[in-house]
Structure 1
Protein backbone atom coordinates (compact mmCIF):
# COMPACT_ATOMS: atom_id res chain seq x y z
CA UNK A 1 0.00 0.00 0.00
CA UNK A 2 1.39 3.38 -0.91
CA UNK A 3 0.91 6.81 0.51
CA UNK A 4 -0.90 9.44 -1.53
CA UNK A 5 -0.46 13.12 -0.83
CA UNK A 6 -3.54 15.24 -0.42
CA UNK A 7 -4.54 17.74 -3.05
CA UNK A 8 -2.90 21.16 -2.72
CA UNK A 9 -6.43 22.59 -2.70
CA UNK A 10 -8.19 22.90 0.62
CA UNK A 11 -9.95 19.55 1.08
CA UNK A 12 -13.67 19.13 1.46
CA UNK A 13 -14.49 19.62 5.14
CA UNK A 14 -14.83 15.94 6.01
CA UNK A 15 -12.65 14.37 3.35
CA UNK A 16 -10.67 12.10 5.64
CA UNK A 17 -11.55 14.71 8.25
CA UNK A 18 -8.19 16.31 7.99
CA UNK A 19 -5.76 18.86 6.80
CA UNK A 20 -4.47 18.91 3.27
CA UNK A 21 -0.92 18.28 4.43
CA UNK A 22 -1.56 14.99 6.17
CA UNK A 23 -0.42 11.80 4.50
CA UNK A 24 -1.51 8.25 5.09
CA UNK A 25 1.48 6.22 6.25
CA UNK A 26 1.56 2.50 5.55
CA UNK A 27 3.74 -0.17 4.03
CA UNK A 28 7.35 0.89 3.74
CA UNK A 29 6.59 4.61 3.60
CA UNK A 30 8.30 6.91 6.12
CA UNK A 31 6.43 7.23 9.40
CA UNK A 32 4.12 10.21 9.73
CA UNK A 33 5.52 12.78 12.19
CA UNK A 34 3.86 12.79 15.59
CA UNK A 35 2.36 16.24 15.09
CA UNK A 36 0.50 15.10 11.97
CA UNK A 37 -0.90 11.97 13.57
CA UNK A 38 -1.86 13.88 16.71
CA UNK A 39 -3.49 16.70 14.75
CA UNK A 40 -5.41 14.18 12.64
CA UNK A 41 -6.83 12.42 15.67
CA UNK A 42 -7.67 15.66 17.47
CA UNK A 43 -9.44 17.12 14.42
CA UNK A 44 -11.47 13.94 13.96
CA UNK A 45 -12.55 13.96 17.60
CA UNK A 46 -13.28 17.69 17.53
CA UNK A 47 -15.45 17.35 14.44
CA UNK A 48 -17.43 14.46 15.92
CA UNK A 49 -17.92 16.36 19.18
CA UNK A 50 -19.05 19.52 17.39
CA UNK A 51 -21.63 17.62 15.36
CA UNK A 52 -22.88 15.87 18.50
CA UNK A 53 -23.14 19.17 20.38
CA UNK A 54 -20.44 18.30 22.91
CA UNK A 55 -18.87 21.74 23.30
CA UNK A 56 -16.40 20.86 26.05
CA UNK A 57 -14.76 18.06 24.10
CA UNK A 58 -14.87 20.04 20.86
CA UNK A 59 -13.02 22.99 22.44
CA UNK A 60 -10.40 20.70 23.94
CA UNK A 61 -9.75 18.78 20.74
CA UNK A 62 -9.65 21.83 18.44
CA UNK A 63 -7.16 23.39 20.86
CA UNK A 64 -5.10 20.20 20.73
CA UNK A 65 -5.18 20.16 16.90
CA UNK A 66 -4.06 23.81 16.78
CA UNK A 67 -1.28 23.17 19.30
CA UNK A 68 0.07 20.23 17.32
CA UNK A 69 0.10 22.16 14.04
CA UNK A 70 1.62 25.20 15.77
CA UNK A 71 4.64 23.06 16.55
CA UNK A 72 5.61 23.42 12.88
CA UNK A 73 5.68 27.23 13.03
CA UNK A 74 3.81 27.31 9.70
CA UNK A 75 0.91 29.79 9.68
CA UNK A 76 -0.53 28.42 6.44
CA UNK A 77 -1.07 25.04 8.10
CA UNK A 78 -2.67 26.63 11.13
CA UNK A 79 -4.96 28.51 8.74
CA UNK A 80 -6.24 25.18 7.46
CA UNK A 81 -7.12 24.05 10.96
CA UNK A 82 -9.08 27.24 11.56
CA UNK A 83 -10.91 26.92 8.23
CA UNK A 84 -11.79 23.34 9.00
CA UNK A 85 -13.23 24.34 12.35
CA UNK A 86 -15.22 27.18 10.78
CA UNK A 87 -16.58 24.83 8.12
CA UNK A 88 -17.74 22.35 10.77
CA UNK A 89 -19.46 25.15 12.68
CA UNK A 90 -21.12 26.45 9.53
CA UNK A 91 -22.63 23.00 9.03
CA UNK A 92 -24.70 23.84 12.14
CA UNK A 93 -25.43 27.38 10.92
CA UNK A 94 -23.06 28.85 13.49
CA UNK A 95 -21.17 31.75 12.04
CA UNK A 96 -19.61 31.67 8.63
CA UNK A 97 -17.14 34.39 9.39
CA UNK A 98 -13.88 32.90 10.61
CA UNK A 99 -12.20 35.42 12.92
CA UNK A 100 -9.37 33.06 13.90
CA UNK A 101 -8.42 32.81 10.23
CA UNK A 102 -8.14 36.58 9.76
CA UNK A 103 -4.65 37.03 11.27
CA UNK A 104 -3.42 34.04 9.25
CA UNK A 105 -4.94 35.13 5.95
CA UNK A 106 -1.85 36.86 4.58
CA UNK A 107 0.12 33.61 4.83
CA UNK A 108 -2.67 31.41 3.44
CA UNK A 109 -2.89 30.27 -0.17
CA UNK A 110 -5.31 31.82 -2.65
CA UNK A 111 -7.40 28.63 -2.42
CA UNK A 112 -7.70 28.95 1.34
CA UNK A 113 -8.57 32.64 1.10
CA UNK A 114 -11.29 31.79 -1.42
CA UNK A 115 -12.61 29.06 0.88
CA UNK A 116 -12.79 31.50 3.79
CA UNK A 117 -14.74 33.95 1.64
CA UNK A 118 -17.01 31.12 0.52
CA UNK A 119 -17.80 30.20 4.14
CA UNK A 120 -18.57 33.84 4.87
CA UNK A 121 -20.87 34.27 1.86
CA UNK A 122 -18.44 36.74 0.26
CA UNK A 123 -17.04 34.65 -2.58
CA UNK A 124 -16.23 36.75 -5.65
CA UNK A 125 -17.11 35.20 -9.03
CA UNK A 126 -13.46 35.00 -10.01
CA UNK A 127 -12.67 33.02 -6.84
CA UNK A 128 -15.05 30.16 -7.63
CA UNK A 129 -12.45 28.32 -9.70
CA UNK A 130 -10.22 28.12 -6.61
CA UNK A 131 -12.71 26.04 -4.64
CA UNK A 132 -12.73 22.22 -4.55
CA UNK A 133 -14.83 20.90 -7.45
CA UNK A 134 -17.84 19.82 -5.40
CA UNK A 135 -18.06 23.12 -3.55
CA UNK A 136 -17.52 25.04 -6.78
CA UNK A 137 -20.67 23.57 -8.29
CA UNK A 138 -22.71 24.61 -5.27
CA UNK A 139 -21.15 28.08 -5.02
CA UNK A 140 -21.87 29.41 -8.49
CA UNK A 141 -25.15 30.66 -9.87
CA UNK A 142 -28.43 29.62 -8.31
CA UNK A 143 -27.88 27.12 -5.53
CA UNK A 144 -29.70 23.93 -6.48
CA UNK A 145 -30.48 21.17 -4.03
CA UNK A 146 -29.71 18.69 -6.79
CA UNK A 147 -26.09 19.90 -6.98
CA UNK A 148 -25.68 19.46 -3.25
CA UNK A 149 -27.35 16.06 -3.27
CA UNK A 150 -24.62 14.85 -5.60
CA UNK A 151 -21.98 15.50 -2.95
CA UNK A 152 -20.97 12.13 -1.57
CA UNK A 153 -19.71 13.55 1.71
CA UNK A 154 -22.57 14.58 4.04
CA UNK A 155 -20.54 17.17 5.94
CA UNK A 156 -19.51 18.85 2.69
CA UNK A 157 -23.18 18.97 1.76
CA UNK A 158 -24.07 20.70 5.01
CA UNK A 159 -21.24 23.19 4.61
CA UNK A 160 -22.41 24.00 1.08
CA UNK A 161 -25.93 24.55 2.37
CA UNK A 162 -24.61 26.77 5.16
CA UNK A 163 -22.59 28.81 2.68
CA UNK A 164 -25.75 29.22 0.59
CA UNK A 165 -27.56 30.58 3.65
CA UNK A 166 -24.68 32.98 4.30
CA UNK A 167 -24.90 34.22 0.71
CA UNK A 168 -28.70 34.56 0.88
CA UNK A 169 -29.21 31.97 -1.85
CA UNK A 170 -30.60 28.96 0.01
CA UNK A 171 -33.94 27.65 -1.24
CA UNK A 172 -36.46 25.69 0.86
CA UNK A 173 -35.29 22.56 -1.00
CA UNK A 174 -31.71 23.24 0.12
CA UNK A 175 -32.83 23.61 3.73
CA UNK A 176 -34.82 20.37 3.53
CA UNK A 177 -31.85 18.53 2.05
CA UNK A 178 -29.61 19.85 4.83
CA UNK A 179 -31.94 18.72 7.61
CA UNK A 180 -32.44 15.33 5.94
CA UNK A 181 -28.66 14.93 5.64
CA UNK A 182 -28.07 15.75 9.31
CA UNK A 183 -30.90 13.43 10.34
CA UNK A 184 -29.50 10.53 8.32
CA UNK A 185 -26.12 10.93 10.08
CA UNK A 186 -27.62 11.40 13.55
CA UNK A 187 -25.84 14.75 13.89
CA UNK A 188 -27.98 16.42 16.53
CA UNK A 189 -26.46 19.91 16.54
CA UNK A 190 -26.82 20.64 12.81
CA UNK A 191 -30.18 18.87 12.72
CA UNK A 192 -31.63 21.16 15.38
CA UNK A 193 -30.26 24.21 13.60
CA UNK A 194 -31.66 23.31 10.19
CA UNK A 195 -35.03 22.28 11.58
CA UNK A 196 -35.31 25.56 13.47
CA UNK A 197 -34.50 27.58 10.37
CA UNK A 198 -37.07 25.64 8.36
CA UNK A 199 -39.67 26.15 11.10
CA UNK A 200 -39.00 29.89 11.13
CA UNK A 201 -39.44 30.08 7.38
CA UNK A 202 -42.60 27.97 7.51
CA UNK A 203 -44.12 30.30 10.09
CA UNK A 204 -43.13 33.34 8.03
CA UNK A 205 -44.82 31.78 5.01
CA UNK A 206 -47.97 31.06 7.00
CA UNK A 207 -47.54 27.29 6.80
CA UNK A 208 -48.59 26.45 10.36
CA UNK A 209 -48.89 22.65 9.82
CA UNK A 210 -45.33 22.38 8.50
CA UNK A 211 -43.99 24.60 11.29
CA UNK A 212 -45.74 22.41 13.88
CA UNK A 213 -44.36 19.25 12.30
CA UNK A 214 -40.82 20.65 12.37
CA UNK A 215 -41.21 21.72 16.00
CA UNK A 216 -42.20 18.15 16.88
CA UNK A 217 -39.04 16.91 15.20
CA UNK A 218 -36.97 19.43 17.14
CA UNK A 219 -38.53 18.23 20.39
CA UNK A 220 -37.53 14.65 19.58
CA UNK A 221 -33.92 15.66 18.87
CA UNK A 222 -33.75 17.62 22.10
CA UNK A 223 -34.79 14.54 24.11
CA UNK A 224 -31.87 12.52 22.74
CA UNK A 225 -29.98 10.86 25.57
CA UNK A 226 -32.73 11.49 28.09
CA UNK A 227 -34.42 8.49 29.76
CA UNK A 228 -38.06 7.84 28.92
CA UNK A 229 -40.50 8.93 31.58
Structure 2
Protein backbone atom coordinates (compact mmCIF):
# COMPACT_ATOMS: atom_id res chain seq x y z
CA UNK A 1 0.00 0.00 0.00
CA UNK A 2 1.66 3.19 -1.18
CA UNK A 3 1.58 6.14 1.21
CA UNK A 4 2.84 9.60 0.28
CA UNK A 5 5.36 11.27 2.57
CA UNK A 6 3.24 13.83 4.39
CA UNK A 7 1.91 14.92 7.74
CA UNK A 8 -1.14 12.78 7.04
CA UNK A 9 1.01 9.78 6.19
CA UNK A 10 2.92 10.13 9.45
CA UNK A 11 -0.24 9.14 11.27
CA UNK A 12 -1.37 6.70 8.60
CA UNK A 13 2.01 5.01 8.74
CA UNK A 14 1.63 4.65 12.48
CA UNK A 15 -1.75 3.06 11.88
CA UNK A 16 -0.60 0.68 9.18
CA UNK A 17 2.70 -0.25 10.79
CA UNK A 18 0.89 -1.97 13.64
CA UNK A 19 -0.56 -4.50 11.23
CA UNK A 20 1.98 -4.69 8.44
CA UNK A 21 2.60 -8.08 6.88
CA UNK A 22 3.33 -9.72 3.57
CA UNK A 23 -0.22 -11.00 2.90
CA UNK A 24 -2.80 -8.49 1.61
CA UNK A 25 -3.98 -6.20 4.40
CA UNK A 26 -7.30 -7.01 6.05
CA UNK A 27 -10.37 -5.15 4.82
CA UNK A 28 -10.67 -2.93 7.90
CA UNK A 29 -7.13 -1.66 7.38
CA UNK A 30 -7.61 -0.76 3.72
CA UNK A 31 -10.99 0.78 4.45
CA UNK A 32 -9.68 2.85 7.35
CA UNK A 33 -6.71 4.03 5.30
CA UNK A 34 -8.94 5.14 2.44
CA UNK A 35 -11.43 6.82 4.76
CA UNK A 36 -8.72 8.78 6.54
CA UNK A 37 -7.28 9.99 3.26
CA UNK A 38 -10.75 11.01 2.08
CA UNK A 39 -11.39 12.75 5.39
CA UNK A 40 -8.22 14.81 5.12
CA UNK A 41 -8.89 15.84 1.53
CA UNK A 42 -12.49 16.81 2.23
CA UNK A 43 -11.64 18.67 5.40
CA UNK A 44 -8.90 20.77 3.84
CA UNK A 45 -11.05 21.84 0.89
CA UNK A 46 -13.80 22.79 3.31
CA UNK A 47 -16.33 20.00 2.75
CA UNK A 48 -17.30 19.43 6.38
CA UNK A 49 -20.17 17.04 5.68
CA UNK A 50 -18.04 14.59 3.70
CA UNK A 51 -15.13 14.97 6.12
CA UNK A 52 -17.33 14.05 9.08
CA UNK A 53 -18.75 11.05 7.24
CA UNK A 54 -15.35 9.76 6.22
CA UNK A 55 -13.83 10.14 9.66
CA UNK A 56 -16.81 8.34 11.22
CA UNK A 57 -16.28 5.54 8.70
CA UNK A 58 -12.60 5.32 9.62
CA UNK A 59 -13.38 5.21 13.34
CA UNK A 60 -15.94 2.47 12.77
CA UNK A 61 -13.46 0.34 10.83
CA UNK A 62 -10.75 0.76 13.45
CA UNK A 63 -13.13 0.14 16.34
CA UNK A 64 -13.78 -3.33 14.89
CA UNK A 65 -10.27 -4.28 16.06
CA UNK A 66 -10.87 -3.27 19.67
CA UNK A 67 -7.55 -1.38 19.52
CA UNK A 68 -7.69 1.95 21.33
CA UNK A 69 -4.08 2.65 20.36
CA UNK A 70 -4.98 2.49 16.66
CA UNK A 71 -7.95 4.76 17.23
CA UNK A 72 -5.63 7.22 18.95
CA UNK A 73 -3.45 7.27 15.86
CA UNK A 74 -6.44 8.02 13.66
CA UNK A 75 -7.33 10.92 15.93
CA UNK A 76 -3.89 12.36 15.25
CA UNK A 77 -4.82 12.53 11.57
CA UNK A 78 -7.83 14.65 12.45
CA UNK A 79 -5.82 16.79 14.87
CA UNK A 80 -3.22 17.49 12.17
CA UNK A 81 -5.84 18.60 9.63
CA UNK A 82 -7.49 20.85 12.22
CA UNK A 83 -4.17 22.33 13.34
CA UNK A 84 -3.21 23.13 9.75
CA UNK A 85 -6.47 25.08 9.56
CA UNK A 86 -5.72 26.89 12.85
CA UNK A 87 -8.52 25.06 14.65
CA UNK A 88 -6.94 24.28 17.98
CA UNK A 89 -8.61 22.04 20.55
CA UNK A 90 -5.62 20.34 22.21
CA UNK A 91 -6.32 17.24 20.08
CA UNK A 92 -9.55 16.67 22.01
CA UNK A 93 -10.34 13.39 20.27
CA UNK A 94 -6.90 12.03 21.08
CA UNK A 95 -6.78 12.94 24.77
CA UNK A 96 -9.20 10.25 26.05
CA UNK A 97 -7.12 7.67 24.18
CA UNK A 98 -3.69 9.02 25.12
CA UNK A 99 -3.20 6.45 27.90
CA UNK A 100 -3.28 3.72 25.25
CA UNK A 101 -0.90 5.55 22.89
CA UNK A 102 2.87 5.23 23.00
CA UNK A 103 5.36 7.97 23.83
CA UNK A 104 5.94 8.83 20.19
CA UNK A 105 2.25 9.44 19.56
CA UNK A 106 1.89 11.55 22.69
CA UNK A 107 4.93 13.54 21.58
CA UNK A 108 3.38 14.05 18.15
CA UNK A 109 0.20 15.34 19.78
CA UNK A 110 2.27 17.76 21.86
CA UNK A 111 4.04 18.90 18.68
CA UNK A 112 0.72 19.56 16.95
CA UNK A 113 -0.38 21.66 19.91
CA UNK A 114 2.80 23.74 19.95
CA UNK A 115 3.82 22.28 23.29
CA UNK A 116 7.53 21.94 22.57
CA UNK A 117 8.94 22.69 26.00
CA UNK A 118 10.78 19.58 27.17
CA UNK A 119 9.70 17.66 24.06
CA UNK A 120 12.08 14.86 23.06
CA UNK A 121 12.69 15.51 19.37
CA UNK A 122 13.90 11.94 18.88
CA UNK A 123 10.38 10.68 19.48
CA UNK A 124 8.99 12.71 16.59
CA UNK A 125 8.83 11.84 12.88
CA UNK A 126 12.14 12.60 11.19
CA UNK A 127 10.97 15.73 9.36
CA UNK A 128 10.28 17.60 12.60
CA UNK A 129 13.28 16.68 14.72
CA UNK A 130 15.78 19.33 13.62
CA UNK A 131 13.29 22.14 14.08
CA UNK A 132 12.31 21.11 17.60
CA UNK A 133 15.93 20.54 18.59
CA UNK A 134 16.90 24.00 17.33
CA UNK A 135 13.95 25.59 19.12
CA UNK A 136 14.87 23.86 22.35
CA UNK A 137 18.45 25.07 22.11
CA UNK A 138 17.85 28.67 21.03
CA UNK A 139 15.39 31.24 19.80
CA UNK A 140 16.61 30.96 16.22
CA UNK A 141 14.11 31.45 13.44
CA UNK A 142 12.45 28.35 12.12
CA UNK A 143 12.93 27.04 8.59
CA UNK A 144 9.51 26.27 7.19
CA UNK A 145 10.89 26.07 3.67
CA UNK A 146 12.94 23.05 4.70
CA UNK A 147 9.69 21.11 5.18
CA UNK A 148 8.72 20.10 1.67
CA UNK A 149 5.38 18.43 2.30
CA UNK A 150 2.60 21.07 2.24
CA UNK A 151 0.47 19.68 5.07
CA UNK A 152 3.48 19.12 7.29
CA UNK A 153 4.56 22.71 6.63
CA UNK A 154 1.14 24.06 7.62
CA UNK A 155 1.08 21.94 10.76
CA UNK A 156 4.49 23.24 11.74
CA UNK A 157 3.49 26.84 11.02
CA UNK A 158 0.44 26.38 13.25
CA UNK A 159 2.56 24.92 16.03
CA UNK A 160 5.01 27.81 15.75
CA UNK A 161 2.11 30.24 15.88
CA UNK A 162 0.88 28.65 19.09
CA UNK A 163 4.27 28.81 20.79
CA UNK A 164 4.98 32.35 19.61
CA UNK A 165 7.85 31.58 17.22
CA UNK A 166 6.21 32.20 13.84
CA UNK A 167 7.62 35.12 11.84
CA UNK A 168 5.66 37.38 9.45
CA UNK A 169 7.46 35.84 6.48
CA UNK A 170 6.41 32.39 7.64
CA UNK A 171 2.77 33.51 7.88
CA UNK A 172 3.01 34.45 4.21
CA UNK A 173 4.67 31.09 3.47
CA UNK A 174 1.87 29.19 5.22
CA UNK A 175 -0.78 31.22 3.38
CA UNK A 176 0.75 30.60 -0.02
CA UNK A 177 1.26 26.92 0.77
CA UNK A 178 -2.48 26.54 1.38
CA UNK A 179 -3.22 28.60 -1.72
CA UNK A 180 -1.02 26.47 -3.96
CA UNK A 181 -2.86 23.33 -2.83
CA UNK A 182 -6.34 24.85 -3.23
CA UNK A 183 -7.11 24.10 0.42
CA UNK A 184 -9.89 26.57 1.22
CA UNK A 185 -10.19 25.92 4.94
CA UNK A 186 -6.56 26.56 5.95
CA UNK A 187 -6.23 29.32 3.34
CA UNK A 188 -9.08 31.29 4.89
CA UNK A 189 -7.60 30.77 8.33
CA UNK A 190 -4.16 32.01 7.36
CA UNK A 191 -5.56 34.92 5.35
CA UNK A 192 -7.46 35.81 8.50
CA UNK A 193 -4.18 35.96 10.42
CA UNK A 194 -2.75 38.25 7.76
CA UNK A 195 -5.82 40.49 7.86
CA UNK A 196 -5.62 40.81 11.63
CA UNK A 197 -1.97 41.79 11.43
CA UNK A 198 -2.68 44.38 8.74
CA UNK A 199 -5.52 45.81 10.82
CA UNK A 200 -3.33 45.98 13.92
CA UNK A 201 -0.66 47.79 11.90
CA UNK A 202 -3.20 50.26 10.55
CA UNK A 203 -2.49 49.19 6.97
CA UNK A 204 -5.97 49.59 5.52
CA UNK A 205 -4.91 49.02 1.93
CA UNK A 206 -3.29 45.69 2.76
CA UNK A 207 -6.22 44.61 4.90
CA UNK A 208 -8.72 45.48 2.15
CA UNK A 209 -6.72 43.50 -0.40
CA UNK A 210 -6.51 40.48 1.90
CA UNK A 211 -10.24 40.58 2.63
CA UNK A 212 -11.03 40.71 -1.09
CA UNK A 213 -9.01 37.56 -1.42
CA UNK A 214 -10.89 35.98 1.49
CA UNK A 215 -14.20 36.83 -0.20
CA UNK A 216 -13.02 35.11 -3.37
CA UNK A 217 -12.02 31.96 -1.49
CA UNK A 218 -15.20 31.78 0.59
CA UNK A 219 -17.57 32.31 -2.35
CA UNK A 220 -17.33 29.46 -4.85
CA UNK A 221 -18.04 30.38 -8.44
CA UNK A 222 -21.50 29.35 -9.77
Distance across 2 between alignment mates of 1:12 and 1:53: 19
For the 8 Å contact 2:11–2:76, the answer to whether it is kept is: no
Counterpart check, 1:148 vs 2:148: no
**Match in the other structure for 2:185:** 189
For the 8 Å contact 2:15–2:73, the answer to whether it is kept is: no
The 5 Å alignment of 1:122-141 reads 122-139=115-132, 140-141=134-135
Instruction: Identify which of 11, 15, 36 aligns with 2:9.
Output: 15
For the 8 Å contact 1:50–1:58, the answer to whether it is kept is: yes
Q: Deviations over 1:85-123 (max 9, x none)?
A: 001111110115111111111111111111111112222
Distance change (3 Å), C-alpha of 1:37 and 1:21: same
Instruction: Identify which of 206, 213, 217 aligns with 1:217.
Output: 213
Q: Deviations over 1:57-83 (max 9, x none)?
A: 111101111111111111111111001
Distance change (3 Å), C-alpha of 1:21 and 1:222: closer
Distance change (3 Å), C-alpha of 1:16 and 1:117: closer
**Match in the other structure for 2:54:** 61
**Match in the other structure for 1:86:** 79
TM-score relative to the length of structure 1: 0.85
For the 8 Å contact 1:49–1:55, the answer to whether it is kept is: yes
Unaligned runs of 5+ in 2: none
Q: How much does 1:129 deviate?
A: 2.4
Distance across 2 between alignment mates of 1:93 and 1:117: 15
Q: How much does 1:17 deviate?
A: 7.4
Q: How much does 1:132 deviate?
A: 1.3
Q: Deviations over 1:149-194 (max 9, x none)?
A: 1212100100101111121221111111110000000111110000
Aligned residues, how many?
214
Q: How much does 1:12 deviate?
A: 4.7
Task: Give the number of the structure whose residues are more often helix, by fraction.
Answer: 2
Q: How much does 1:18 deviate?
A: 2.3
Which has the higher relative contact order, 1 or 2, with Cα contacts under 8 A spaced 6 or more apart? 2
**Match in the other structure for 2:167:** 171
Unaligned runs of 5+ in 1: 24-28
TM-score relative to the length of structure 2: 0.88
Distance across 1 between alignment mates of 2:140 and 2:64: 40
**What RMSD in Å do the two structures reach over aligned CA positions?**
2.2
